[in-house]
A and B are shown apart, each in its own frame.
Chain A
Amino acid sequence: MSPRFGELTVGDVVAEATLDLSRDSLVRYAGASGDFNPIHYRDDVAASVGLPGVLAHGMLTMGAAVQPVVEWAGGAAHVVDYQVRFTRPVVVDPATGARLEVSAKVGALDAEKATARIDLTVRYDEATVLGKAQVVVSLESDAS
């Protein structure tokens, strides 16, 4: 059952999730996306360019962080616009991985278009990793 536009109020938290990324997740994403930059799977290469460790692909963080909103909205087709700024890297430990905490809150409502802007907060290790992370979703208007 998809949410209806009229049920929403700015400030509502519509989804929260914990996402666990492992080195396996990075290898899987590399294969699925075609992004084989070795900083996402080789510790020696990451160290050689001065990184604190192997990093998650920014696009993996972006792609995974929106999924709680996709599921809440009733499917990927409801997303009409999605933007993020990559502000902080996510270091993925070889043994323990990395845990992301996602919270999705209604940031703005457009009654004419029956769209909601959902603002994402994505935290890793007590700090946010995405800035201006905004998803615009189309919802069923109350008239339908």
Chain B
Amino acid sequence: MSVNPDLAGRSYPATSPYLVGREKVREFARAVLSADPTSHDVEAARAAGFDDVVAPPTFAVVVQEHALAQLLADDDAGIDFSRVVHGDQRFSFTRPIVAGDELTATLTVVSVKTLAGNSMVTADTVVTDPSGAHVVTATSTLVVRGEA
């Protein structure tokens, strides 16, 4: 199996809505060693101007994951998951994710590059709220190691 060189530009359907739970945010915050009061304490989050606890920046990966799963499951994309290494990751926010948000993710493959026998697949996952407003774009580069 090798990565389809014509993958760039391909988009996948929007994922079904992900409801951000307060306890999920707290659980994730503990897991990334966060001591940020706005991620744990509803009163601290409200004092900072939010309706509920604020997710740590990298929580967006949980929503992105549902979109990436579509790409990895697409046989025509030709990505062998057992050969995938996470190369780069970026999150660009319009606003933070807050408990109570209902988020959908839409993934588009930006580029496929080949370097030294490996393929580098870069994908943008655009995360939006129910009104369609942008929340965050998560960009991942997956390095698919070549079969030597």
Residues in chain A within 8 A of chain B (CB atoms): 19, 25, 28-29, 31-35, 49, 58-60, 62-64, 66-67, 70-71, 74-77, 79-86, 132, 135
Q: Which residues of B contact A28 (CB under 8 A)?
A: 30-31
Q: Which residues of A contact B49 (CB under 8 A)?
A: 77
B57 within 8 Å of A by Cβ? yes
Report yes or no: B48 in contact with A71, Cβ–Cβ below 8 A: no
A77 smallest CB distance to B (angstroms): 4
Report yes or no: B31 in contact with A29, Cβ–Cβ below 8 A: yes
Report yes or no: B90 in contact with A63, Cβ–Cβ below 8 A: no
A76-B56, A82-B90 in contact; A67/B31 too (CB < 8 A)? no
Interface range on chain B: under 10, 10 to 19, 20 to 34, or 35 or more?
35 or more
For chain B, what secondary structure do more than half of its interface residues adopt (helix, strand, loop), or is it mixed? mixed
A38 smallest CB distance to B (angstroms): 11
B42 smallest CB distance to A (angstroms): 13
Q: Which residues of A contact B96 (CB under 8 A)?
A: 76-77, 79
A33-B61, A60-B31 in contact; A83/B54 too (CB < 8 A)? no
3 A-B pairs with the lowest CB-CB distances in the bound complex, closest first: A63-B32, A32-B31, A83-B90
B128 within 8 Å of A by Cβ? no
* C-alpha spacing A7/B129, complex, angstroms: 35
Pairs across A and B, CB under 8 Å, 22 listed:
A19-B33, A31-B27, A32-B24, A33-B65, A34-B62, A58-B89, A59-B86, A59-B89, A64-B33, A71-B36, A74-B48, A76-B36, A76-B54, A76-B56, A77-B49, A77-B50, A77-B54, A77-B95, A79-B96, A83-B91, A84-B90, A86-B88
